Amino acid sequence: MKKLTLFIVISLLSTGLFAQILTPVKWSYAAKKINKTEAVLLLKATIDNGWHIYSTQQKDGGPVKTAVTFTPSKDYALNGAIAEPKPVTKFENAFKMNVSYFEKSVVFQQKIKLKKDQASIKGKLEYMVCNDKQCLPPEDVDFSIPVK
């Protein structure tokens, strides 16, 4: 009985050692002041080769689009909508529709109006990442961007 228990424990541990957590997207954040009362927030996704994330403008009925939600604050106000570069758009059979996505890297930009000299902009990103074989479940990432 002891040998069987030991075998099961070793099997479970060795399986855990080979388990792989896929993290094909790395996020980084920055802020650039335009003048005393305006700034641009930069949210950069660095995407592993072969993977892609979807546009903030992706139509409903397909993959989960990238979404950025900012925590309301009296220290700043959003100035317009989030901006993104032109995505790749093509038909994906898995979704039976045209999808718009980014590969390698993308920088999303959000202009803000500052109501104080400094602010800490907090929020959440939701995105989905896919390659030609699989899609990972949508992921939420909290962020905080200091503006000085």
Which value, to the nearest 10 degrees, does the dihedral of the CA atoms of residues 115, 121, 127, 129 take?
Answer: 120
Report all structural domains of the chain as residue ranges with CATH numbers, in order of start: 24-147 (2.60.40.1250)
pLDDT at 20: 64
CA proximity to 143, closest of 30, 25, 24 = 30
| Residues 63-120: tens digit of each pLDDT | 999 999 999 999 999 999 999 999 999 999 889 999 999 999 999 999 999 999 899 9
- Give me the residue label for tokens 């094909």: 24
First CA to last CA distance, the chain: 64
**Residue percentage of the chain with pLDDT more than 90:** 83
Q: 18 or 64: which carries more pLDDT confidence?
A: 64
Residue 12 has pLDDT above 70, yes or no: no
d(CA 39, CA 127): 24
